[in-house]
Structure 1
Amino acid sequence: MAKNTITLNNGVELPAIGLGVFQTPPDVTTTAVAEALRQGYRHIDTAAAYMNEREVGEGIRASGVARDEVFLETKFWISDYGYDAALHAFDKSAGKLGVDRLDLILLHQPLSSRFDLTLDAYRALEKLLADGKVRAIGVSNFMPEHLERLLAETTVVPAVNQIELHPYFQQTGLQKLHAEHGILTQAWSPIGGITSYGGGAKSTFDDPALLEIAGAHGKSVAQVMLRWHLQEGRSAIPKSTKPARIAENFDVFDFELSSEQLAAIDALDTGVRGGPDPDSITLENYGMAIPEA
């Protein structure tokens, strides 16, 4: 059976399944987070750009679960890249979340058009790590060329790269690079929710192969996809605001996919990205001020 925690490259333990809150409105974020923690989740993923960090913190406090039992992860936005700006971004995020230490901080995008700022922001993460303000640091949406340059010009190997990853978009080359450097692959849109966006898009939830595997185990298609991530050694952060779905997405530790079933899911890769090309995320197009705490 896949473990419910993963050891990062610096020895920190990360709960493999976390609750994501991307595009979760602030007014429902608190309830969703509190519900997830009551259901047994111990890992919450947010980001400065989601504009709901304050409500995530309120949800943790409302749950009654002790802060030191919750693995809390956030991401700094490109507008706060640069050394001093990223150090201040910590103050903003920690202040909104109501904590004095974070478990994991990621740089949200590679910002390839100003990678000098990205490198300086990552050096600020290294400083926060050295000062004990964060337990682990990493990146998000970094492609091989971004990772290779980061590794060449900084000191601390990222603990995590959070990327779009689901049965229809598996980024196997990038996953291989992660494995070579001891970087954990963390999947956003892990059950392919992004494949349901837009008219006529083929959805993972309707895939015949996934439906067949789900039927064989008496599980949902979403549970099968999350189990696939776990057995292949990844972290996943499914998003939901509905209590029943939140519970369902966490109920994935009591069954096991066969090697044939894993291979069948691996074979579904289309190579088609659902989210934006990371290189398209620039300050000109996506820059926005992140409010103070």
Structure 2
Amino acid sequence: MTRLTSFLRYISRHAPTMARPAATLRTGAQMPLLGLGTGPGSVGSWQTSTEPIYEAVKVAIDTGYRHIDTAESYADEKAVGKALQEKIGSAVERKDMFITSKLWNTRHHPDDVLPACQRSLTDLGLDYLDLYLMHFPVAWTRGDVYYPKDDNGRAILCTPDVPFMDTWKAMENLVDAGLVKAIGVSNFNISQMEEVLTNGRIKPAVNQVESHPYLVCSKLLKCAAENDVVITAYSPLGRPGEAGLHGVTPFKDPKVISIAEKHNKTPAQVCLRWQVQRGVVIVPKSVTPARILENSQIFDFELSAEEMETISGLNKDARIVKFGMCDDHPQWPFNGAF
């Protein structure tokens, strides 16, 4: 018996039925507040093998996760799809799963949007996506190189430039075609999100951004709530696997540790619980079965108003993901308010 099989048997015997609170999208769909992230940070900055992702998705579904977050640029959609096909129809029904993918920066030209979505669907083995996000507001040069760079390490931008509203209109057609149930954005600041809300025929359902106790995004969260946009937090624990690079590890903060001890929970669980109590969807990344289970055990306790305020007060605007290779572009989002 493998260690993974033993662990899954342990889960089936000992793990309680996991409550799955959800955020209601403007479409009426229910988006589970907890999802499994599968992108960079899962097994390093960029995974060299997708086998851990394949196993992690299976473990997550067996643990009770019903929300999987992926993207073409993660180069893991075939592995995610393989796991989904093994579980859908046996352990879970497709209608009970919520699958998110994302349109990469090199696919912003309107002619590239439909093929990109179809490629993701094929790799995932699905007929439709529950949510499809524009991964970033800046268009990079068209092609299959995910990070096209010049000799100075700068991103090679799409020429002529493609405004993100042109890309959005092409994404709206995916909804009309029934390929995606909802569309949204990612890494969009407040003014950019408002531009899509104002000018889009279909309004964005979600904005996925980096957020953790050191990057609270309170202004964005308020604006989103006022406009019926759900916020999803990626890197909700910082990126502990890359701590030496950026030093953003909020779950090691003494105040978080103190709150965790009071609730007999881990500091990571407290960071995740803080987000869901704010109504934020979280997609923590892990390929470790015990950690995947631990991250799910956040619905059996509640932080007090004072504890919520304490954690929110840790904000340092400490952003990890900056897309600095195109920070001179007028639509680079991180000059604007979050």
In the superposition, the TM-score normalised over structure 1's length comes to 0.90
1:71-124: per-residue Cα shift (whole Å, max 9, x none)? 000001011112221011111100100111110000000117767342222112
Structure 1 match to 2:138: 111
CA contact (8 A) 1:166 1:225 kept: yes
Which structure: greater helix fraction?
1
**Alignment pair present for 1:22 and 2:68:** no
Structure 1 match to 2:71: 47
Alignment of 1:255-266 (within 5 A): 255-266=301-312
CA contact (8 A) 2:251 2:271 kept: no
Alignment of 1:178-197 (within 5 A): 178-193=224-239, 196-197=242-243
Shift of the 163–78 alpha-carbon distance from structure 1 to 2, 3 Å rule, reads same
CA contact (8 A) 2:214 2:248 kept: no
Shift of the 134–282 alpha-carbon distance from structure 1 to 2, 3 Å rule, reads farther
**Alignment pair present for 1:86 and 2:86:** no
1:120-144: per-residue Cα shift (whole Å, max 9, x none)? 2211221111222111110000012
Match of 2:29 among 12, 17, 38: 12
Equivalent residue of 1:102, what SS? coil
Question: What is the CA–CA distance in structure 2 between the aligned matches of 1:210 and 1:188, rounded to whole Å?
Answer: 19
Amino acid at match of 1:59: A
The Cα of 1:183 is off from its aligned counterpart by 0.6
Alignment of 1:28-43 (within 5 A): 28-43=52-67
1:31-57: per-residue Cα shift (whole Å, max 9, x none)? 000000000000000000000001101
Question: What is the CA–CA distance in structure 2 between the aligned matches of 1:151 and 1:202, rounded to whole Å?
Answer: 32
CA contact (8 A) 1:108 1:140 kept: yes
**Identity, % of aligned pairs?**
38
Structure 1 match to 2:316: 270
Amino acid at match of 2:109: G
1:154-204: per-residue Cα shift (whole Å, max 9, x none)? 211110000000000112122222112111010000122269533572521
Question: What is the CA–CA distance in structure 2 between the aligned matches of 1:19 and 1:121, rounded to whole Å?
Answer: 27
1:7-53: per-residue Cα shift (whole Å, max 9, x none)? 01111110110000012431211100000000000000000000000
Structure 1 match to 2:144: none
Q: Which consecutive segments of 4 or more residues in structure 1 shift more than 6 A?
A: 112-115
Amino acid at match of 1:42: R
